[in-house]
Amino acid sequence: MRLPPATGRVVRNALLGILGAQLGAAGVLVAADNVRKHRAGPARFPRSAVTQARADDDLVSVYSYGEDLYNDMLTAIRRAKHTIFFETFIWKNDPIGQDFKQALIEAANRGVAVYIVYDQFANMVVRPSFFRFPDNIHVKRHPLVQSVAFWNLRNSGRDHRKILVVDSRVAFMGGYNIGSRYARTWRDTHARFEGPSVADFENAFVDYWNLRPVHLLSSQRSSMPELPDTSQRRWDGSVRLSRNTPRWAVFPIRNMYLEAIDKAQRNIWLTSAYLIPDDDLRTALARAAQRGVDVRIIVPAQSNHVIADWLSRGYYTGLLRDGIRLFLFHNAMVHAKTATIDGHWSTIGTANIDRLSLAGNYEVNAEITSPQVATALERIFLTDQSNCTEMDLARWERRSIVAKGTEWLLAPWRPLF
């Protein structure tokens, strides 16, 4: 049905007014957050030591401090003899980023086959010259635009994965990007794997490297050498990978979470940098809490993306009313993407609990069935919880009318995050 011209103008003006208010609110929030960051003191949070645990035939080392992780990743690169597969989302041109670049160049110069993947969009603020490498290194840039049909999710996902595989012997994967700011001032989680699961991490890299997106707007299509398929992957094992691959229209990480939450009987302890769950995830968590499961979620009190914070806060009332306990992490950005359930099941990965990660980006999560790994993650969770303030429903509902109005105004943006 066609609206009368006068009615159409009213609707159009109302929509433009709402959009203007949303953009104005977002501008104010970003400006205020920039002032806060400028005035903020040094990051402070309790530090957990690197923890090793068995998952059947795999040895899993869990890192929750960037400096520890980077030291071990650089050591692995410097000891490499045959191959290095390195994939990252953000790679800063700073002392840590330069250490990684130099180590990779030195490895190639001594005869190691080095393959690098990085995301162009995530590194737009990095000087392009930083990503120039010698000809003996193979580099694939996940392009800013993959296809003229950029509105199709199969063509628009970012490469949000962080993987390092050395000599088919050791693999690193988790939430840490590469940069000096993450070494001491961010709380994130990464893991090192040694054992049969390394073949799966290598396969994840190889499969992405060999993808040839349709209508790729880049010379990379003809210049990238294909890698051979990984052999000797196991059907069983306590470490399994879930990979979101937009090119294949496959997004299993969301289902991995839903299945695990649905099985929970004792506890679900989840850490999320950006908590913007869809209706099914919210319902699954609520049902778990209603059947007596101890559901706890750690989120940053203030993340590095203020708009994501305000979109996330719009869910707090419902989560708290459902009996889910929320803990706000202070004095540092918590960027981890982890969960542990019933002292038995755990996940460490790159995917956030939001639409971009669960139904948009290239992501990878390790699903680990191991009481030892679960115990390690529970200990880290409790250490992080000691740096949190728990939000209770009564206090949350006393927030200002301006805060409630801002959450309501920005709520339509949730599908974009």
Looking at the structure, tell me whether residues 203 and 272 fall in a common domain.
no
Say if residue 9's pLDDT is above 80.
no
| 263 assigned to some structural domain | yes
CA distance 327 to 57: 35
Lowest mean pLDDT among 40-49, 63-72, 203-212, 311-320: 40-49
Residue 30 forms part of a structural domain: no
End of a domain among 215, 240, 265? Answer: 240
The pLDDT tens digits of the residues spanning 60-73 come to 999 999 999 999 99
Pairing of β 58-63 and β 333-334:
unpaired
State whether the Cα torsion 100-101-106-111 is positive or negative. Answer: positive
Q: What is the pLDDT of residues 273-302, one digit of tens each?
A: 999 999 999 999 999 999 999 999 999 998
Same domain, 363 and 263: yes
Alpha helix positions (H), 92-210: 95-109, 153-156, 180-184, 198-209
Q: Which two tokens stand for residue 117?
A: 């993947």
Give residue 26's pLDDT. 66
* Residue 13: inside a domain: no
Q: 214 and 143: one domain?
A: yes
Residue-level pLDDT at 215: 46
Number of domains the chain is built from? 2
Neighbouring C-beta atoms of residue 235, cutoff 10 Å: 4
Taking the model in full, what pTM does it have? 0.92
Domain range for residue 298? 245-414
Those residues whose C-beta lies under 8 Å from the C-beta of residue 287, and which sit 6 or more positions away, are 262
Residues 233 and 304 in one domain: no
227 and 257 together in one domain: no
Give the confidence band of 104 by pLDDT, cuts at 50, 70, 90: very high
Residues 291 and 405 in one domain: yes
68 and 162 in a single domain? The answer is: yes
Which pair of structure tokens corresponds to residue 398?
Answer: 């006393």
Query: Is the same domain home to 287 and 167?
Result: no
Domain co-membership, 129 together with 250: no
